[in-house]
Amino acid sequence: MLEVHCSGTPYEIGHQHGTVAKDRVVGSIAFYKDLFQESCSMNWEAVRQEAQQYIQPLQKLSPRYVEELQGLADGAGFELVDIVALNVRTEITFGLYTRVPSAPIQTDGCTSAAYRQPNGEVLLAQNWDWQPEQAPNLFICHISQPGTDIPDISMVTEGGVIGKIGINSSGVGTCLNAIRARGVDNTKIPIHLALRTALESHSAREAADKLYEMGTAGSGHILVSDPSEAIGLECTSIGMKEINFDGNGTLIHTNHLLLDHPGVDEPGWIPDSTDRIKRIAQLLDERLATSTIDHSSFFDFFRDEQGYPTAINRDQFSPGNGKATLFTINMDLAKRKAIVTMGRPTNWTERIELSPGLT
């Protein structure tokens, strides 16, 4: 698995990403170019035009991120708007879905969970399910920003995307569940940059407060946690609501809104989303009734194949048809440690340990 260590100014961080992971960036653009064309009949020039609308608002919201995106574009040999398109792909998708309700939108699906152990320390994990054609474009990105108070970050991301799923040196971790709701607002922070904002925070509450203030441009569920608290942020372009631990100390999510969001139009899109959330709730309840959960055993829930192939541990319907679990990340936030396994968790191909800020 490619690991890229980025350090310095925002521009330098982006340039290192773009230079060292250039093949991943090229691959991501090729993958999403094909995806938008095949699923939405939208060519890349149309995608670029949509992405262009986010650049000026981003300059106001977070000029640092625009500098990093520019460095990334220069390093990989693309224009800024191409890299912005990768980082606002969720919002472009939902913008189209809002204008063309019949569009057969495709986006990634996932199962995520946080658990507070009896000693108060929090575990956080998820499966990331997407089309296997994008798997070769994944890599581990390590980011440090010397001279600032921003924590060091280690995340699994797609080539060209500067915010994703990972952990920082303060023990803050992020997970993402796609939510398909209509509506976008390009004056707010795009979902993948919201993930980066959370990863630049020192606590889950600090991350949530920042995102409440900024708002999100599109929809998604961001599960952000630190060693003692987890917050599930159901984000839409209209507003944000939060989910906290239940009585068992668990917080779970899949790919549909669990709370009531007045004014938000969210047609069902992944029929198995409700099955997966019921299943992971059942697995957690059954284990906690008779035993305890630790960092190692937390991984077991993500291996579950009930409902195969559309299980928590997802597989394609047939080769080239559908999504599969591309990686699992399992975080022990108090220890500032995450284990990433590539591939389906029952037959993973590589195991990487992340420990940002620790030698």
Q: Structural domain boundaries of the chain? A: 3-99, 109-354
pLDDT value of position 38: 85
Please, are residues 191 and 176 in contact by the beta-carbon 8 Å criterion? yes
How far apart are the C-alpha atoms of 228 and 115, rounded to whole Å? 10
CA distances from 120 to 116, 280, 290 (A): 6, 21, 19
pLDDT value of position 238: 95
Q: How many CB atoms lie within 10 A of CB 89?
A: 26
Say how many Å lie between the first and final Cα of the chain, rounded: 20
pLDDT value of position 359: 58
CA distances from 125 to 19, 112, 142 (A): 30, 6, 19
pLDDT tens per residue, the chain (359 residues)?
999 999 999 999 999 999 999 999 999 999 999 998 887 788 999 999 999 999 999 999 999 999 999 999 999 999 999 999 999 999 988 777 667 666 566 667 799 999 999 999 999 999 999 999 999 999 999 999 999 999 999 999 999 999 999 999 999 999 999 998 888 999 999 999 999 999 999 999 999 999 999 999 999 999 999 999 999 999 999 999 999 999 999 999 999 999 999 999 988 778 899 999 999 999 999 999 999 999 999 999 999 999 999 999 999 998 888 899 999 999 999 999 999 999 999 999 999 999 999 85
**Is domain 3-99 classified as CATH 3.30.390.50?**
no
Residue whose C-alpha is closest to residue 100's, from 52, 50, 40: 40
The model's pLDDT over 79-137, given as tens digits with 9 standing for 90+, comes to 999 999 999 999 988 777 667 666 566 667 799 999 999 999 999 999 999 999 999 99
pLDDT value of position 57: 97
DSSP strand pairing (240-243 vs 250-253): unpaired
Name the CATH topology of 109-354: Penicillin V Acylase; Chain A (3.60.60)
Beta-bridge partner residues of 134: none
Long-range CB contacts (< 8 A, 24+ apart) of 271-277? 271/310, 272/307, 272/310, 272/311, 273/109, 275/307, 275/310, 276/111, 276/307, 276/310, 276/311, 276/312, 277/111, 277/252, 277/253
pLDDT value of position 270: 81
pLDDT value of position 104: 63
Which two three-digit tokens encode residue 306? 């009930």
Residue whose C-alpha is closest to residue 78's, from 119, 28, 126: 28
Q: What is the pTM of this model?
A: 0.97
